Amino acid sequence: MGSLLDDIRDGIRDGIEYVADKTDEYTKIGKLKVEMLSLKRNIEKQFIELGGRTYELLSGRSKKQVAEDEEVNNLVKELKELEKKLDEKKKQIEKVKAEKEQQRKEREEARKAEGEAKKPEEAQ
């Protein structure tokens, strides 16, 4: 009878750990996605500014070269930095997913080893 209670207890423990683990994973991923949205908004703003400045240069009297304009170059530089940060956030999400999956596998393997160690004890 103790074995049935142990199985029930282990099942409940496994379920609770799984829910807690998934909650932690989704919380971290959610935070990273919010940060990604902020970066995307900043990228959009920069593109709007870049487009406005480019239009201004091309339609103005001076017909100044777009590639030589300091403001355009600064906007392009900032855009590249924002895109790098966005890529870093994507990598962080993948890292969180991989770490959590590895932790789940390790726990599962430890439980299997624990269960196999209990079987010889029960046979005695």
pLDDT class of 13 with cuts at 50, 70, 90: confident
Residue 40 pLDDT: 96
Q: Which of 22, 26, 13 is nearest to 110 (CA)?
A: 13
Residue 29 pLDDT: 95
The C-alpha atoms of residue 90 and residue 97 are separated, in whole angstroms, by 11
Tell which wins on pLDDT, 39 or 64.
Answer: 39
Mean pLDDT of 42-69: 86
Confirm whether pTM is higher than 0.85.
no
pLDDT class of 27 with cuts at 50, 70, 90: very high
Residue 80 pLDDT: 97
User: CA 38 → CA 2, 53, 66, 86, 102, distances in Å?
Assistant: 54, 23, 28, 9, 29
Domain segments of the chain: what residues? 2-50+78-123
